[in-house]
Structure 1
Amino acid sequence: MRAQFKKRPDKVSATGLIAGGGSLPLQFLKGAAEKKEKVITFGIAGETGNTIKKTAEEYVEVNLTALSSIIKECKARGVKQVLFLGYVRHTNLFKNIKFDLKSLSIIAGLKGFTAVQIMGGIIKQFEKDGIKVLPSTHLMENSLAGKGNISLKKPDKKQMADIQFGYKTARTIAAMDAGQTVVIKKGGIIALEAQEGTDNCIKRGGGIAGPGFVVVKTARPNQDMRYDVPVMGLKTLKAIKALNGAGIAVEAGKTFILEPEKVKLYAKNNGLFIYGA
């Protein structure tokens, strides 16, 4: 592994960003720069985008399944706290994976191979090695969805009924670590997210439901805010618009909104509602 960009003096303590895919890590880096927080970015091979690589003050590419190397890189740079942001495609967790010995010892001790169990094991190992894992919301509180109407357009009574039903349904599947998203129409469950991700769930459900469907996305009950916090952004809204959906409800205080101003403008221009449940 080779560090790029500026290198920090050993005596300076920095926050380590374990960055997956998507724009959420970039949103964090911009916020950290504004608040002058020192950050070293550890990008997950095959997931982290080029924009993040170019934006990071110091960048180190790592393999998520080589946990010993990641912890070694953190310690070598004086990193005493890290946070996880960005996605790791679930399909990559099941394809031709080579674990190092430390990762294998974690996997061997797990009761299952879900995202919750894997990340729980990884976090436990970081903290065992003296590296604190911060909530994903660190410096990101302003990016969380608020309560109530987020967009100018408001859901009507029937849509609110779908939101309430969808919220309970989404929380149920989230508790099973199956997914976080449901597609609802007229009180009926049209689609439940599994491993395909939110946008593909919307495409599948919207294609079945037809115009006017409602999307609901929630966190797990007792969500650990250190990893896999729900996210929505322009891509999600565009998937809803493409199939003439009515809008989306997300869990307030536990869902990140990517580029919130752009999201609100898109919703306004396309007649979609965004609601914090």
Structure 2
Amino acid sequence: MGNDPGNIGIIAGGGQFPLLFLEAARRAGRTVVVIAHKGETAPEVAAAADAVCWVKLGQLGKVISFFKANRVSEAVFLGSITKTQIFRDVLPDLKGLTLWNKIDRKQDDAILRAVAGALEQEGISVRESTLYLRHLLFPAGLLSRRKPTKEQRQDIEFGWRNARAIGALDIGQCVVVRNRTVLAVEAIDGTDATIRRGGLLAKEKAVVVKVRKPGQDFRFDLPATGLATITTLRSVGAAVLAVEAGQSLLFDPEAMIREADAAGIVVVGVTEREDGTLDF
């Protein structure tokens, strides 16, 4: 029993990431305890958990009490929370309200770091979201049959610099460009909405660039793409998806690339060298 890592807790948002992690953690021999968010977490995640507690955003005291009652020693943050819920569906308890009032900047990283700090003060260590899922990291190089043209390569490089800049400001992780012009910047509405906004302005052939924020904490909000991303790109006639390799998640890669090839969309994993040049 001396090597028993204890139970692991998932603070689960939406999407498939919490379920994939839960299954991988169980294969690793862990008992999995889930905090599920009303209106966000899939019922399948709650059904698969060894123990589950449904909460609303802000119920930090309830989260900590439930984890302690279920002997959780480590926790992970997984899945998306619809960011607009921050303004309409929050029901903070006393602990959550106290923490909220201490946070100067109501932005993703600041909020998540504060919650992680509160958990760690209670003896619950917050681990990276890729703990059992390193194989889901976006690969480097060309994934699609179609290669980027010279003009698209220039757009990727231009978009990369702009995506890095908005990431440094903790605004978002994705930009949409065409002809070295920024058409849309990700904000609270998320990646798919950003692609739709930029794609409509581009009319066609938009280039979408998605990167990890500078100093991005692997415990929180890693960029993620998948089949749904390609469906959105296809709906606006976009031409390219360029994603930072090794720093973001890729779901359903085979189905995603099949769909991209069918639509003639370029998909590429980009690596930045120390001198700032890009490989892709």
- Normalising by structure 2, what TM-score? 0.90
How far the C-alpha of 1:229 sits from its partner, in A, is 0.8
RMSD value, Cα: 1.6
How far the C-alpha of 1:33 sits from its partner, in A, is 3.6
CA distance in 1, matches of 2:20, 2:154: 33
How many pairs does the alignment contain? 267
Are 1:163 and 2:186 matched, yes or no?
no
How far the C-alpha of 1:137 sits from its partner, in A, is 1.0
3-state secondary structure, aligned to 1:196: coil
CA distance in 2, matches of 1:54, 1:108: 34
Are 1:53 and 2:46 matched, yes or no?
yes
Q: Report if aligned partners of 1:233, 1:263 keep a CA contact under 8 Å in 2.
A: yes
5+ long unaligned stretches in structure 1: 1-10
- The counterpart of 1:181, out of the listed 153, 161, 174, is 174
- The counterpart of 1:197, out of the listed 174, 190, 194, is 190
Q: Report if aligned partners of 1:43, 1:61 keep a CA contact under 8 Å in 2.
A: yes
- The counterpart of 2:20, out of the listed 20, 23, 27, is 27
3-state secondary structure, aligned to 2:72: coil
Per-residue CA distance 1:127-162 (angstroms, 9 max, x = gap): 011000000111111111012212232222211111
How far the C-alpha of 1:12 sits from its partner, in A, is 8.4
- The counterpart of 1:41, out of the listed 34, 43, 46, is 34
- The counterpart of 2:252, out of the listed 219, 234, 259, is 259
Percent identity over paired residues: 35
Q: Report if aligned partners of 2:17, 2:78 keep a CA contact under 8 Å in 1.
A: yes
CA separation of 1:194 and 1:33: change in aligned 2, threshold 3 A: same
1:56-95 map, 5 Å: 56-95=49-88
CA distance in 2, matches of 1:12, 1:127: 16
Q: Report if aligned partners of 1:14, 1:38 keep a CA contact under 8 Å in 2.
A: yes
Which residue number corresponds to residue 6 of structure 2?
A: 13
Give the residue type in structure 1 aligned to 2:95: K
Which residue number corresponds to residue 143 of structure 2?
A: 150
1:185-264 map, 5 Å: 185-264=178-257
CA distance in 1, matches of 2:246, 2:100: 31
CA distance in 2, matches of 1:32, 1:259: 19
CA distance in 2, matches of 1:103, 1:58: 22
3-state secondary structure, aligned to 2:10: strand
Q: Report if aligned partners of 1:161, 1:187 keep a CA contact under 8 Å in 2.
A: yes
How far the C-alpha of 1:111 sits from its partner, in A, is 1.4
How far the C-alpha of 1:35 sits from its partner, in A, is 3.4
CA distance in 2, matches of 1:208, 1:12: 51
CA distance in 2, matches of 1:155, 1:38: 45
Per-residue CA distance 1:44-69 (angstroms, 9 max, x = gap): 12210122223334322223311111
CA distance in 2, matches of 1:12, 1:58: 17
Runs of 4+ in 1 over 6 A off after TM superposition: none
- Normalising by structure 1, what TM-score? 0.91
Which residue number corresponds to residue 98 of structure 1?
A: 91
CA distance in 2, matches of 1:153, 1:84: 35
3-state secondary structure, aligned to 1:83: strand
Which residue number corresponds to residue 7 of structure 1?
A: none
